[in-house]
Amino acid sequence: EVQLVESGGGWVQPGGSLRLSCAASGFTFSTHKMHWVRQAPGKGLEWVSFIDENGTYKKDRDSVRGRFIISRDNAENSLFLQMNSLRDDDTAIYYCVRESNGFDPWGQGTLVTVSA
Amino acid sequence: QSALTQPPSVSGTPGQTVTISCSGSRSNIGRDYAFWYQQFPGTAPKLLMYKRIYRPSWVPDRFSGSQSGATAYLAISGLRAEDEADYYCAAWDNSLGWVFGGGTKLTVL
């Protein structure tokens, strides 16, 4: 069974940092592009970052560029999101997502709360 | 403000057909495929339609996708109570990366 399990969320003050992890299993991780997508409480979906199969090409949405860093470890079947200089509007559930004819599947998500 | 525009809500009675629109531009839907996702409260989204018209194996053929110019459509025929959920469209945008619509809440009356 294809599975993505996120961890690392929690509460952090504005300006702080968090590192999210995503453990992948049930498929050949190194052959898939991976993404982070977030959803603020009661709001819609928002794409955050993308990384290609071997970590060479990355792309972020404008609002996180320079603050968030996506990375992966294919030997460990893991995806990461280093989040720095966090702001209130980064508060959201962060989903790890595989790209396979669309975003499929999605992890269960990990909640990041940025608040003083 | 989302790059893709969806109606905030649609509704229908059991057995009816409802259609959800997703309006984009030449930099996204106008030049690439649209995707659709279904999300129930408190759960992660699931892929519903890909590359405009294709369904994952778990999706019944009551769901169909189409496109005209820079607008994509999701039609649900034979509406059932279990279809009540939030629906999101998505596409790759030339400038912005992946973009989503704001989501449409489907209510089955």
Residue contact B101–A44, C-beta within 8 A:
yes
Reduced to 3 states (helix: H, G, I; strand: E, B; else coil), residue A54 is coil
pLDDT band, very low/low/confident/very high, at B92 (cuts 50, 70, 90): very high
- Of B80, B74, B86, B77, nearest to B108 by C-alpha is B80
pLDDT tens sequence across A22-49: 999 999 999 999 999 999 999 999 999 9
- B54 DSSP assignment: B
pLDDT tens sequence across A75-116: 999 999 999 999 999 999 999 999 999 999 999 999 999 999
Query: Nearest residue on chain B to A99, judged by CA atoms?
Result: B47
- A50 and chain B in contact, CB less than 8 A: yes
pLDDT tens sequence across B66-77: 999 999 999 999
Q: Note the pLDDT of residue B52.
A: 85
What is the nearest CA distance from B72 to chain A, expressed in angstroms? Answer: 15
Can you point out the beta strands (E) in A13-65?
18-25, 34-39, 45-51, 58-60
Geometric angle at alpha carbon B22, from B16 and B45, rounded to 5° = 80
Nearest to A44 among B50, B96, B102 (CB): B102
pLDDT tens sequence across B14-48: 999 999 999 999 999 999 899 999 999 999 999 99
The identity of residue B10, as a single letter, is: V
